[in-house]
Amino acid sequence: MFLDIFIIAKAFSLLYSWLEHNIIDNILSFSKVFGNMIILISVVVFLFILAYITIKHLKKLPKFYLIEVTDVYGNDIILEGIRTKFRTYDAAKSYSEFYSDIYKKQYKFNVIGSNQRHSLGFLSVASLSQKAFKVNRNNL
């Protein structure tokens, strides 16, 4: 009877070591690799989402910047001889500060972004056709 229990215990020991060596180790190594792959895929998906949001935000940025001139009373005015249309925000901001230094408190210069070539009622020379110039020249 003692011998039977010893043989059964030895059989279970061999079976357990075989299962641990061949199946459980493989399952544990697979789960480690699978966990690493889940983390890697999550990072890649996060970077794609971040790139998509960044590109979507950049498409909404203004393509042109205008300097809006207001006088002391808050009326929008047009000053002759100053540049008001720019392609970059930095240039528009720089000119706005330059004009503010020149005109001091007489006028306020605000930078406004726009996706249209002309806005605020100002007509851009680039948007006029050659036909409009000829008609105006011939009428004079």
Closest CA to 78 of 126, 122, 124, 128: 122
- Rounded Cα distance between 61 and 85, Å, is 16
Domain boundaries, the chain: 1-60, 64-139
Q: How far apart are CA 20 and CA 26, in angstroms?
A: 9
User: Residue 136 has what pLDDT?
Assistant: 42
Joined tokens for residue 70: 């207001």
Flag whether pLDDT at 96 surpasses 90.
Answer: yes
- What average pLDDT score do residues 79-98 get? 90
Q: What percent of the chain has pLDDT over 90?
A: 31
**Given a cut of 50, is residue 127 above it in pLDDT?**
no
Structure-token pair, residue 8 = 């059964």
Tell me, yes or no, if the pTM score tops 0.85: no
